[in-house]
Structure 1
């Protein structure tokens, strides 16, 4: 349900302080959706707890869930063409390449503020313990699972790529078992197939890891692990630089923790590649 409809439904519960928060959110939804509870309250000139109480009155567990809902609404109501136009308008006569580099570098620097080394280590250890890794994504994010599929196979992992929908997706996850891991990627909105995949994984005892930007609180059922980092301003054209950096951190952390398994596998791959070349 859209934020404006939620406000209308719960109008009778809102205090004057709540209304001031609401006005801030409606006046500039794109910017306000990314403010912390404290920053939003400061703009509305109310107590910081007001934002939390408002979120709870609207049916959310806290401000974090409301914020994620607002961010997803901003993204879902912004057409891809509008995001491209916004980026072009921002660059004007400058260098598009320089602008992308600058914005991606800023987003990369913020990763350390949003993702901890402990989260990367925990995800890497979970992948190392997996019987098989099932990689799920749709849309542009399939680029990430193609990269992770190749790198995990080179590190001696058994992988299955899931980019299908409907019956085809169901056929591919028949092999998912307890002890396996689902590594999923989701941006902008919850992709078709992710919810039933997570439900199936939970039923059979498989572990799920989600790499995302702002969707974490909106994904149901909750994955056992979520690694979330902003890719930049929601209304702009965004790249996959940030999640790709997280993937690279996972692969290198696995290599650091696996007691030589990755390096040995790469050695076998190099030898096999030479043997195949010699046959020619």
Structure 2
């Protein structure tokens, strides 16, 4: 590639800068690239040329006209645009394609593991023990705990609700009760706490629950990724952490790790309540299993 200073950061700017040099074949290829940038970042020059209906070497000539040494450099440029300048990766297809782009160098499983490890490592600097303790203190002193999450966050909400219930805390997973939402929300009081899990932009339901909690005086805890952090009014306590960079898997392990840390810390401060409840649950489960034999 020529000096980076001569290559605009965005494809649209690059096309405008070189518009007078472009041939009909170039235009056909660019139409193919622009119409499906996700696919364009994965294909080689021959495949792109074939889709455009032009000579197999046309993509190479286009790349050179745009200032690149060859099509591999141009393709790397397209991949960088997809990975680093892909906005919020709102579309699942774009996020998947970005992961496949990264996987080409190190292998699919290795790239996923690298992404998970990197996402977990950054928690050390993003979340403190004090953040975890602030969550567990509120849970310990609440009358009831309501948990809610939509989409991928729903799975985390199920896990939190089950673990807190086994620990002896009166917990309801609102994610499972969408048909009975009004009945459940109308019973919330200032003695209760709502734990919201939100990945990517907050849904309308998340924002409505937050407003209802504020009106009824219930405290709100929020565990979100950076994209889901825009909850208004602001939660009483909020842990926002990256689940991975663009082009990496958006890790569920990160928020699950934080949730597990909160529940473990709760067991450390509730004077043995969690331990006694878990022992009772284990005994009850063993008894029920025996009766079913």
> Is the structural similarity TM-score above 0.5?
yes
Q: Does 1:107 align with 2:146?
A: no
C-alpha deviation, 1:160, in angstroms? 1.2
Deviations 1:67-114 (A, max 9, x none): xxxx9x922x53101100110111116432221111111111110211
How many positions carry a matched residue from both structures? 211
Structure 1: any 5+ residue segments left out of the alignment? 1-25, 29-70
- TM-score normalised per structure 1: 0.70
- TM-score normalised per structure 2: 0.67
Structure 2: any 5+ residue segments left out of the alignment? 1-7, 11-83
SS for the counterpart of 1:81 is helix
Distance 1:27 1:163, change over 3 A: farther
C-alpha deviation, 1:275, in angstroms? 1.6
SS for the counterpart of 2:161 is helix
Distance 1:217 1:151, change over 3 A: closer
Alignment RMSD (CA, Å): 2.2
Q: Distance in 2 between matches of 1:27 and 1:174?
A: 51
Q: Distance in 2 between matches of 1:275 and 1:167?
A: 33
Q: Distance in 1 between matches of 2:280 and 2:187?
A: 27
Deviations 1:190-231 (A, max 9, x none): 112111111111111100000011146521010000011111
1:148 aligned partner? 160
C-alpha deviation, 1:235, in angstroms? 4.4
5 Å matches for 1:204-219?
A: 204-215=216-227, 218-219=230-231
C-alpha deviation, 1:167, in angstroms? 6.9
Q: Distance in 2 between matches of 1:155 and 1:98?
A: 36
Q: Distance in 1 between matches of 2:204 and 2:196?
A: 12
2:259 aligned partner? 247
Q: Is the 8 A contact 2:195 2:221 kept in 1?
A: yes
